[in-house]
């Protein structure tokens, strides 16, 4: 099914290899994009997608191989050079400057000047045209950081398009957008495709790939598995190629996680929340979770679900309400008090609030345990090694060694390091905020299995996920949130993505 280069190829990358100290990230990878197509780049964590993109955009330099754009050899040394060549990139984390206005961000680096003086009028005009082109209604004088993530993403795209891009690279553009925003984004992408721009889309969402991509290239372990026309590649085969497994094995993984265990949770309450709230952030809510129970918090972005769990862990200070863990009251929760009481929290923004990128895998894993033991009661180096090695094996963390900085690992593996850190504490309550965001299918399935095993061990688990199917598979109960309020609860057989969606939507119509 492999397709070879055609004359209409816009970008041709051939035999690209890239090695980092200790890690062969890409070996002999071919990749080709045509004008006017949406080309999805897919693969597991650590497959080499990001590295390939970074070689393309001049962030990294390739060790070997060739690249042509419009039949001209290129080898960009920096992102700005790639932009000049017509390759624009929108990264997963928006890399614009939050303190500048929308207009300034769009025109950054190419301000119109007359005899050295900036013409603000021209800048604003051109920026307005750019946002109009992607159908974005935003005040261009507004500071970028005051805009929602979705708008920031669109501004980044508006900028990319305004750079007269021939090739637009989108690295995980949808992972922080809700369904409606994704639709808006896709409308813009389809229009750009009509104007003959080549679009590379890196994403983990299968549904989206099948909605919009013309062709799919799959990478695995730094090598190209193949390039396929979307309509000729059934989903199950795509997943199989990403995981390097035959389709029936994939079905097995899915069925293993799909069966919600019938072992019923005990009635022993591990977490009792009554009227906990914070002015202007979350309206007071109640929530009880028993030993061995997984309770989901469903809702759209901004519904208050993340804000609610931040109150539970004391990352934000609650202004009203009470919190009890295993029968013991936590007064004015702080992370330290919450951890002492047996609460663990894997945050949504794992790079900012979770893992510490400069520290090694070993150090990241032992950090919480050590913090709770205090300075005087230090874990010996040997204990630390055993502890981290145990979790590296148990959670199958892919890392060259225990001493590798966590920043060098892929997103899914960073998430596992974070989990290992908390498992080492043997917590009573585990809060997981979007544990599967930005990680691939295989790792997602593993994460679901893991949550199930935590539950069986008697933990009370709070799960937030934007993927309702995932919640339906994993949770015994779901609290639905909307507009910073808890609006209802579903239990047992009522926990289906359909019912959750109805509950979220129904309240939206009010």
Partner 1 sequence: MTIDPPNPIRRITTSPLFWPLLGLVLLLIFNAIFTPSFFNLEIRDGHLYGSMVDVLNRGSIGIIIAIGMTLVIATGGVDLSVGSIMAISGAVAALMLTESNVSLWGVIPCALLAATIAGLLNGLLVAVVGIQPVVATLILMVCGRGIARFLTGEKVIALVDDHFSAAFDYLGNGHFLGMPFPVTIFVLLVLATLVVVRKTVLGLFIESVGSNEVASRAVGIQARTIKIGVYAFCGFCAGIAGLIDASNINAADTVNAGVFTELDAIFAVVVGGTALTGGRFTLVGSVVGALLLQTLLTTLYTFGFASDTAPVPKAIVIVGVCLLQSDAFRQKFRRRSAA
Query: Could you list the residues that contact partner 1 (CB under 8 A)?
Result: 19, 21-25, 46, 221-222, 313, 315, 335-336, 339-340, 345, 347, 352-359, 363, 367-368, 370-372, 375-376, 378-379, 398, 400, 421
- In 333-395, which residue ranges form alpha helices assigned H by DSSP? 335-341, 361-373, 381-394
Quick one: 65 or 292, whose CB is closer to partner 1?
Answer: 65
Cα(136)–Cα(148) distance, rounded to whole angstroms? Answer: 13
Residue 444 Cβ, how far from partner 1 at the closest point, in Å?
20
Quick one: 198 or 354, whose CB is closer to partner 1?
Answer: 354
Residue 69 Cβ, how far from partner 1 at the closest point, in Å?
24
Strand order across the 223-229 sheet: 87-90, 167-171, 198-202, 38-43, 215-220, 223-229
Specify the residue for token string 């702080």: 334
Quick one: 17 or 449, whose CB is closer to partner 1?
Answer: 17
DSSP 283-328: EEEEEEEETTEEEEEE--TTSSHHHHHHHHHTSS--SEEEEEETTE
Q: Are strands 485-491 and 328-329 parallel, antiparallel or unpaired?
A: unpaired
Residue 49 Cβ, how far from partner 1 at the closest point, in Å?
13
Residue 328 Cβ, how far from partner 1 at the closest point, in Å?
17
C-alpha to C-alpha distances, 76 to 19, 48, 432, nearest whole angstrom: 18, 19, 40
C-alpha to C-alpha distances, 465 to 137, 294, 438, nearest whole angstrom: 28, 12, 12
Residue 355 Cβ, how far from partner 1 at the closest point, in Å?
7
Quick one: 125 or 389, whose CB is closer to partner 1?
Answer: 389
Quick one: 51 or 217, whose CB is closer to partner 1?
Answer: 51
Quick one: 122 or 385, whose CB is closer to partner 1?
Answer: 385
| Helix, strand, coil percentages for the chain (3-state, nearest 5) | 40, 25, 35
Cα(333)–Cα(318) distance, rounded to whole angstroms? Answer: 8
Provide the angle, in degrees to the nearest 10, between the axes of the packed helices 235-243 and 247-258: 90
Quick one: 256 or 336, whose CB is closer to partner 1?
Answer: 336
How far from the centroid of its chain's Cα atoms is residue 128's Cα?
Answer: 30
Residue 189 Cβ, how far from partner 1 at the closest point, in Å?
31
Residue 65 · residue 13 · CB < 8 Å: yes
Quick one: 59 or 371, whose CB is closer to partner 1?
Answer: 371
Residue 44 Cβ, how far from partner 1 at the closest point, in Å?
11
Residue 377 Cβ, how far from partner 1 at the closest point, in Å?
9
């Amino acid at each position: 099914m492999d397709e070879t280069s055609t004359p209409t190829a816009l970008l041709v990358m051939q035999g690209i290899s890239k090695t980092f100290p200790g890690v062969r990230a890409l070996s002999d990878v071919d990749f080709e994009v045509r004008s006017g197509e949406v080309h999805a780049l897919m693969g597991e964590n650590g497959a080499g997608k990001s590295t390939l993109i970074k070689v393309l955009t001049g962030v990294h330099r390739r060790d070997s191989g060739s690249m042509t754009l419009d039949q001209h050899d290129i080898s960009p040394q920096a992102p700005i050079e790639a932009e000049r060549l017509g390759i624009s990139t929108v990264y997963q984390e928006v890399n614009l400057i939050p303190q500048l206005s929308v207009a300034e961000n769009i025109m950054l680096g190419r301000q119109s000047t007359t005899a050295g003086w900036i013409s603000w009028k021209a800048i604003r005009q051109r920026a307005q045209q750019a946002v109009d082109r992607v159908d974005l209604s935003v005040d261009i004088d507004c500071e970028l950081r005051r805009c929602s993530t979705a708008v920031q993403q669109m501004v980044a795209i508006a900028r990319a398009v305004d750079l007269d891009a021939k090739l637009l690279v989108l690295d995980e553009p949808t992972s922080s957008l809700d369904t409606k925003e994704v639709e808006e984004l896709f409308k813009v992408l389809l229009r750009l495709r009509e104007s003959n721009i080549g679009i590379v889309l890196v994403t983990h969402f299968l549904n989206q790939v099948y909605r919009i991509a013309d062709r799919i290239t799959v990478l695995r372990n730094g090598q190209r598995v193949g390039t396929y026309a979307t309509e000729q590649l059934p989903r199950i085969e795509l997943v199989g190629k990403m995981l390097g497994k035959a389709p029936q094995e994939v079905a097995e993984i899915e069925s293993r996680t799909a069966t919600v265990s019938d072992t019923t949770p005990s009635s022993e309450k591990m977490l009792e929340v009554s009227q906990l709230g914070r002015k202007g952030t979350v309206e007071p809510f109640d929530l009880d979770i028993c030993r061995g129970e997984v309770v989901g918090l469903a809702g759209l972005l901004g519904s208050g679900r993340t804000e609610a769990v931040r109150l539970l862990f004391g990352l934000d200070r609650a202004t009203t309400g009470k919190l009890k863990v295993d029968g013991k009251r936590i007064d004015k929760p702080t992370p330290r008090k919450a951890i002492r009481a047996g609460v663990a929290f894997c945050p949504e923004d794992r790079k900012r609030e979770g893992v510490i990128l400069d520290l090694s895998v070993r150090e990241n894993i032992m950090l919480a345990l050590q913090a709770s033991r205090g300075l005087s009661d230090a874990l010996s180096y040997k204990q630390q090694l055993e502890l981290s090695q145990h979790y590296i094996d148990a959670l199958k963390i892919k890392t060259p060694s225990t001493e590798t900085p966590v920043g060098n690992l892929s997103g899914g593996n960073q998430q596992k390091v974070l989990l290992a850190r908390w498992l080492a504490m043997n917590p009573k309550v585990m809060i997981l905020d979007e544990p599967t965001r930005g990680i691939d299918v295989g790792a997602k399935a593993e994460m679901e299995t893991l949550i199930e095993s935590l539950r069986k061990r008697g933990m009370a688990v709070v799960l937030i996920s934007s993927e309702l199917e995932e919640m339906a598979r994993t949770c015994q109960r779901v609290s639905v949130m909307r507009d910073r309020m808890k609006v209802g609860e579903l239990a047992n057989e009522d926990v289906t993505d359909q019912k959750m969606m109805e509950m979220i939507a129904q309240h939206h119509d009010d």
